[in-house]
Amino acid sequence: MTIRISKSKVNLREKLSNHDNPIGAHGGQILASKSTKETQSIIGTGRKNMLINGGMQIAQRGTSLTPTGSSGLQYPCCDRWGGQFSAPSGIFTVSQSTDAPTGHSHSLKYLNNSGVTPDGSHYFWIGQKIEGYNAAAAGWNTPFGKHCTLSFWVKSSAPGIWAGSIKKGGGNFGYCFTYEIEYKDTWEWKQVVIPPPTTSSSGWQVTTSASINIQFDIGTSRTSDLGADTIGKWQTHNTYTHNDTILPITRIHGITGATWYLTGVQFEAGRVATPFEQRSYGEELALCRRYFYKPHMDSLLWPAYQYHNNHKMQVVQFPVEMRATPTCTATWNTSGSWTQYFNSKDHFKAYIGSTYDHGSSYYLNSFEANAEL
């Protein structure tokens, strides 16, 4: 006896997408996607982090610094991470730390050496300027910009509501965000979704200039840097932090011994925070060297050579092309005046007047090339 069973066709895609409980957090979106490009944008695969050295592994300048009070931008330790440290000097020591959450090896650490009474003259923050080429994926230079997501690991001895800002690289325009550290001295993962700046699509660079500035406030109480009574909204203002009218913001410039740590920082296009993009140490170092190059040295660096009867020439070839022709600083083992000569994004040259002398040597003692934004 033969038994035949027939049933109507089932559209599995439709059934799952209409199910009350889709598979996973974004299973329904993935199943409903109509192209590989759309699926990829949901998953967030491929190169995605617009920030460099978000894992704080690279520290060419050194692993610890106690900055002096200055209005200028200073880079205390971890490459690409710079900030402002107002007077008085010595309030914070900033260091590269090996205290890090699972999946990371390093973090950036702030330690308050001597707390001050907060007043209207203080500003302490750390952040990164994103080059236009790297920020182009956000599309903020067009009326069709994308939402972007900032995610990071953070911990502090001072739990509470903290603030930061996303700013236009070359303009007085910013977005204030907040995040909460719930527990003392405990690593916590945070994410913040940033809407596109639809009210201002001009001025967002897409080449070698600064496009997007990411800032984390550590201790800002200067009146001109406090945002308006707005959190989570783009505004025409040089916003460093919130002005406390909606939420009381935590800051540690007045707390001796207070600490704040940061690592695993990622800024990517899309509304979803995807896992941190783990790049090899060599690749991360090469990316950092586009902006700053300091070669390792023991007792000496490259020797100079006799290129003319009366001159010696020093040449340093950069390992990667730098963002722009850098500002170079160098010292030699000999006295005398060296003249820098037609430097470029690829190399450094300098010469000194010196006749040939087989009994003397000329070589570099130190060298730095800076092309930061």
List, as one string, the DSSP characters of 64-118: EE-PPSEEEEE--SSTT-EEEEPSSTTSEEEEEES---TT-S-EEEEEESS----
Cα(first)–Cα(last) distance of the chain, in Å?
82
Which of 32-46, 156-170, 264-278, 286-300 is predicted with the least confidence, judged by mean pLDDT? 32-46
Question: Residue 370 burial (CB < 10 Å; 0-12/13-18/19+)?
Answer: middle
Q: Which of residues 7 and 369 earns the better pLDDT score?
A: 369
Q: CA dist 277 to 50, 80, 152, 232, 370, Å?
A: 10, 17, 12, 26, 26
Using only the alpha carbons of the chain, give its radius of gyration: 25
- Report which residue type is found at 49: N
Q: Which pLDDT band holds residue 245 (cuts at 50, 70, 90)?
A: confident
Report the pLDDT value the prediction gives residue 301, as an integer from 0 to 100: 74
pLDDT of residue 361: 86
User: Regarding predicted confidence, which is higher, 302 or 187?
Assistant: 187
Q: Are 211 and 131 in contact (CB under 8 A)?
A: yes
Band of the pLDDT at 3, cuts 50, 70, 90?
A: low
Residue-range domain boundaries for the chain: 64-288, 292-370
pLDDT for the residue numbered 123: 93
The confidence score (pLDDT) of residue 221 equals: 82
With beta carbons less than 8 A apart as the criterion, state whether 191 and 209 touch.
no
* CA 100 – CA 170 distance, rounded (Å): 33
Residue 253: closest CA among 119, 163, 108, 155: 119
Banded pLDDT at 37 (limits 50, 70, 90): low
Please say if the pLDDT value at position 20 is more than 60. Answer: no
Q: Residue 214: is its pLDDT beyond 70?
A: yes
* pLDDT higher than 90, residue 237: no
| Mean predicted confidence (pLDDT) in 18-38 | 61
Which residues are paired to 230 by β-bridges? Answer: none
Mean pLDDT estimate for the chain: 90
Burial environment of residue 126 by CB neighbours within 10 A (0 to 12, 13 to 18, 19 or more):
buried
**CATH number of this structure's domain 292-370:** 2.60.40
More confident residue, 228 or 271: 271
φ, ψ of residue 291 in degrees (nearest 5): -110, -25
Q: How far apart are CA 169 and CA 352, in angstroms?
A: 39
Q: Is the pLDDT of residue 228 over 80?
A: no
Cα–Cα dist 288/164, whole Å: 23
Which ranges of 235-312 would DSSP assign to H, the alpha helix?
A: 281-288
Distance CA 367, CA 329 (A): 6
pTM exceeding 0.85? yes
Bridge partners for 285 per DSSP:
none
Q: Which of 103-107, 232-236, 280-284 has the lowest mean pLDDT?
A: 232-236
Q: Which CATH number fits domain 64-288: 2.60.120.260, 2.60.120.10, 3.10.520.10, 3.40.50.720?
A: 2.60.120.260
User: Which residue in 184, 185, 211, 181 sits closest to 197, CA to CA?
Assistant: 211
Residues 53-73: tens digit of each pLDDT: 999 999 999 999 999 999 999
